[in-house]
Structure 1
Amino acid sequence: MVTEAPVAPDAPRTEEPRPGHRVAGGLLDPRQLWKSLPEALRKLDPRVLWRNPVMFVTEVGALLTTVFTIPHPSVFGWLITAWLWLTVIFANLAEAVAESRGRAQAATLRLTRRQTVARRLVGWAEGAPPSAIREEEIPADRLRRGDVVAVDAGHLIPGDGDVVDGVASVDESAITGESAPVIRESGGDRCAVTGGTRVLSDRIVVRITQEPGESFIDRMITLVEGAKRQKTPNELALNLLLVALTIIFLFATVTLQPMAIFSKGVMAAAPDTLAITSSGIAGVVLVSLLVCLIPTTIGALLSAIGIAGMDRMVQRNVLAMSGRAVEAAGDVHTLLLDKTGTITFGNRQADAFIPVGGTRESDLARAALLSSLADRTPEGRSILDLARKRVGPDAGAEADGVWVPFSAVTRMSGVDLPGRVLRKGAAASVSSWVRDNGGSVPPELAAVVEEVSSSGGTPLVVAEQTRVLGVVRLKDVVKPGLRERFDEMRRMGIRTVMITGDNPVTAKAIADEAGVDDFLAEATPEDKLALIKKEQEGGRLVAMTGDGTNDAPALAQADVGVAMNTGTSAAKEAGNMVDLDSDPTKIVEIVEIGKQLLITRGALTTFSIANDIAKYFAILPAMFGPIYPGLQRLNIMGLHSPLSAILSAVIFNAVVIVALIPLALRGVRYRPSSASTLLARNLWVYGLGGVVVPFVAIKLIDLVVQFIPGI
């Protein structure tokens, strides 16, 4: 056990590894291939390989050719046997390389999982006297869900949990890679902390929310290593198709030998034919035919494609709880986006003082300043900044009164000064307050409030007991570039919906500026949940982001629920993805990664099935041409001999797996477009390419192997 010594908050820190670390070298770095080779050889164990039926049949075929060749040795037999074994090894290598990239990322995560000493507080309860609380030091791995620990500045947080007391600056660079510290505090949506991060200032009390071995980092390590990766429904369906094709071709191949026996009289006229001889070479040829007919290419790469999809999520600092979540992201039809922090920057800024009722702008600015002195929100600080530009930097320094904090009930805040009472807040609330005090509301106030709201701003009315002074306009700034991204979503067939608590007028103005398809104004948690269920009842998949406890039901209901790492534990438990960077706009990237996964799988499946056509033209004429001379017309590639044709097809069948590993790991390049456009591109590039490339490659291989003695 290692005890972490306290360090000063401003002490220099070494660079922590981040989960998005990429493995050095290219996608087919020889060092990476060499390191993955032992794992590929271990996967030859039939108890492991049977989970991939296509490659299991290939391994059985390689074993059979070995048995056939030993009693009847020949150059052709041994070459076919060697290349069939290489086909299985290359398939295992694709999966091993994908897993090794995950293990490299997991290694960087393990560096953050340090054994620390936890200061557990026994008897802690909110409001409990210090004399009732006993502190004890225990190893962090003995902490259980519900334990309460104290963490001072300079110490590592011993486990995942929620801050229940205090506020502190926390360094989360070991998890997110972001060097800037973040604020974690009790009683809000930014209370969640992660084990292995460091408190830089102050002291917090944390309630542990995970059992040992189930921490955030533990789950990340498990997922990026792929040790418990479950196949997604689409993978299972594709596997079922591949198994069905394999069975069909297996029966077709098995029936060839009886057909040959039936054609014995014809064979006598062609005694040198390969197709049916009593020697072991006939078995070798039949196995070669079977392996070339079954979809070995996609069967070899299918697992690597799924692992690489998870890997791309981790590289973007997104933790997907399952491959199913990544796959669902690619099929999303409706994208729900919270306005604040996603579509807008979140911090509304004061940009104008609009006086009413004959009030001077300087008087309105001074009143707004005084009523905002105790307002520590970003909006309050922006009002102070703007007001001091109008009335001077020292304004309000002499103020001494009773501060009235903002209340969700009154929807106002302000200050009671000697001889002067000021309030600032929602138009309806401040107007009612003025009338209750015997004052009147200027008729032009409603028009000003309406104009500010319709332009996408937020109006705050400032009043002095019996009269309204004017309006402070807060502007919610839309993030740049979002309209273009939403246009991309629209081209993908994805409908975007903005969710906000603003009134419908303000919501519409921001929705129009951002370019979303629809909006839900004055939304409550129940409204969000109802909208998701309505979309799903229409057969659509829904994705959304959230960070608060009130978002948990909607995150759980959504097909893709992305919780922010800064959010509450309830939100992170409810969602099936966690964004370590807490960037709500990243959901757009998540959807793109999901679509890239589906497109990659579809493209390689198309290529795999298409390139079988070329192998048919290589092997079938070679096998049956001497028996049925008319089939020689199908030897359109002009291959040297039946032996060279079969060997060339088998070699291509093995080599193409290695050639496609980079594409499986990197993914097919995704361009936002409609489903019909994507399908057409897929058929032209990977369908036609899957036919043309093997013809060319098999012919080139044949030009080389014809010089091998005995072929």
Structure 2
Amino acid sequence: AVIVIACPCALGLATPTALMVGTGKGAEQGILIKGGEPLEGACKVNAVVFDKTGTLTNGKPVVTDVLSFSETNEDDVIEISASLEKSSEHPLAEAIVNYSEEENYTMSEVEEFKAIPGHGVQGVVNGSVYFMGNRKLIEDIAQLEVGRINRKLERLEEQGKTAMILASKEKILGIVAVADTVKDTSREAIEALKKRKIDVWMITGDNARTAKAIATQVGIANILAEVLPENKAAEVKKLQGSGKKVAMVGDGINDAPALAQADIGIAMGSGTDVAMETGGIVIIRNDLRDVVTAFDLSKETMQKIKQNMFFALFYNIIGIPIAARVFMGIGLVLKPELAGLAMALSSVSVVTNSLLIKYFRPGKRNYVSLVAPIVMTILFTLIFFEFSRLSTNMTKTTSTVGTTISFINKK
């Protein structure tokens, strides 16, 4: 009876059953969880870093302003800018090219095209060298002063627009401003994370003014601006070094190193294949509220694992002494056949408790999941002691029959 009751079957089921049901429930909610590690780790996160473009915003920027300087007109600014940007894969470049096509501008062939990550692009159009990008590109690489257009840049940036400067080797020709709209669910998701005592950060390559304008719209106070793509992972590592358990949420190739560096990488389903392969969790529906749901589901699953461990050990703790007849003096014993049935019931309780994760609903308390473990504990404890009582009666009956047979044989 002791060997049977000590069988750790339920203990072996405690974790995998909960993880299996948890990942299945995540899939139902549009959350792809790649195994048990990210599901277990998500509940420990206390800081979330969001990429801006395509994550907090819709990732579909449009041209809002075109400014020209010197003898250059606005049409020339668009035609040269679109010619340069058509060879780039950046979302901002796509916005300029789309605008050019919609307005029927002519794009020229580009020679010696070069994309400079975190800065912009350069190339030769119709025999002349042009630069298109941010302040750093114009000042550090084109080596032109942007002081005289600073006020125009600041005005655009304070409106949350990304201002890109077009310049030749001799002078600044114009500005093309592009803006992206914030997702409808971004602010709601950020507020939900704050309620759960999770610090929220935004990381972007945009300048501080543009970043602040977008962050204000979604309710984020912690901003990491002007971060080059290759430095995003380093910023995540800094947060980890301060004792934070960090989740990184991103969608682009540039986010992949940061997704890999973070304790939990969360990729948006609308993002690049590289990002989705790197992330341990993928948000299929592109809804940031599902990030919050993933954390809540993780907590629910881990709670079930702990409860399952309790169920598995609880029966062993009370069953082994009874099976070993430690309490025989007060009439508690457990026969091997009933000990086997009791251990089967402990496995049933573990599996049943794991299945309660199916009642999980985002943003709602799972009252069934809260009450059911208490009811099961009481019910199975009563059944366990009933088995013990039956074993005691069976032992007494067997003893009486044995005594009677022995008496008859002597006669």
TM tier, shorter chain?
0.5 to 0.7
Tell me the residue number matched to 2:196: 492
Tell me the residue number matched to 2:280: 577
Alignment counterpart, residue 34 of structure 2, candidates 319, 322, 332: 319
Q: Which runs of structure 2 are paired with 1:100-119 in the superposition (5 Å)?
A: none
- How far is the alpha carbon of 1:469 from its aligned partner? 6.6
Tell me the residue number matched to 2:351: 661
- How far is the alpha carbon of 1:651 from its aligned partner? 5.1
- How far is the alpha carbon of 1:475 from its aligned partner? 0.8
After superposition, give the CA deviation of every residue in 1:443-496 in whole Å (9 maximum; x if it has no partner). Answer: 5x4223112212221012456998867543211233331222233333333323
Distance 2:311 2:41 in 1: 23
- Match of 1:512, SS state, is helix
Q: Which runs of structure 2 are paired with 1:506-585 in the superposition (5 Å)?
A: 506-516=210-220, 518-524=222-228, 527-544=231-248, 554=258, 557-561=261-265, 566-567=273-274, 577=280, 579=282
Alignment counterpart, residue 79 of structure 2, candidates 340, 363, 370: 370
1:558–1:357 CA distance, 2 compared to 1 (3 A)? closer
Tell me the residue number matched to 1:349: 62
Whichever residue aligns with residue 375 of structure 2, its letter is G
Contact 2:56 2:186 in 1 (8 A): yes
- Match of 2:178, SS state, is strand
Tell me the residue number matched to 1:408: 116
Q: Sequence identity, in percent?
A: 24
1:433–1:562 CA distance, 2 compared to 1 (3 A)? closer
- Determine which structure has greater relative contact order: mean sequence separation of CA pairs < 8 Å that are 6+ residues apart, divided by chain length: 2
Contact 1:331 1:541 in 2 (8 A): yes
- How far is the alpha carbon of 1:499 from its aligned partner? 1.9
The TM-score, its normalising length taken from structure 1, stands at 0.41
Distance 1:367 1:565 in 2: 33
User: How big is the alpha-carbon RMSD for the aligned residues of Structure 1 and Structure 2?
Assistant: 5.7
- Say yes or no: does 1:599 pair with 2:285: no
Q: Which runs of structure 2 are paired with 1:323-472 in the superposition (5 Å)?
A: 323-350=36-63, 352-355=64-67, 363-364=73-74, 366-374=75-83, 375-376=85-86, 377=88, 378-386=91-99, 393=103, 395-397=104-106, 405=113, 407-408=115-116, 411=120, 413=122, 424-426=132-134, 445-462=149-166, 471-472=175-176
- Match of 2:274, SS state, is coil
Distance 1:669 1:517 in 2: 35
Of 663-672 and 589-598, more deviation after overlay is shown by: 663-672
1:400–1:682 CA distance, 2 compared to 1 (3 A)? closer
- Say yes or no: does 1:61 pair with 2:61: no
Whichever residue aligns with residue 508 of structure 1, its letter is K
Whichever residue aligns with residue 455 of structure 1, its letter is Q
Distance 1:551 1:297 in 2: 41
Tell me the residue number matched to 1:232: none
Contact 2:205 2:229 in 1 (8 A): no
Tell me the residue number matched to 2:14: 301
Specify which structure has the higher proportion of helix. Answer: 2
- How far is the alpha carbon of 1:336 from its aligned partner? 2.7
Distance 2:279 2:172 in 1: 49
Contact 1:460 1:473 in 2 (8 A): yes
Distance 1:651 1:615 in 2: 12
- How far is the alpha carbon of 1:599 from its aligned partner? 1.8
- How far is the alpha carbon of 1:652 from its aligned partner? 6.0
- Match of 1:544, SS state, is strand
- How far is the alpha carbon of 1:612 from its aligned partner? 8.6
After superposition, give the CA deviation of every residue in 1:611-634 in whole Å (9 maximum; x if it has no partner). Answer: 899989x999x95556xxxxxxxx
- How far is the alpha carbon of 1:529 from its aligned partner? 4.2
Q: Which has the larger radius of gyration?
A: 1
Distance 1:613 1:319 in 2: 35
Contact 1:347 1:476 in 2 (8 A): yes
- Match of 1:346, SS state, is coil
Structure 2: where are the runs of 5+ without partners?
Answer: 399-411
1:441–1:654 CA distance, 2 compared to 1 (3 A)? closer
Distance 2:157 2:77 in 1: 19
Tell me the residue number matched to 2:180: 476
Distance 1:666 1:318 in 2: 19
1:61–1:671 CA distance, 2 compared to 1 (3 A)? same
Distance 2:207 2:314 in 1: 55
- Match of 1:478, SS state, is coil
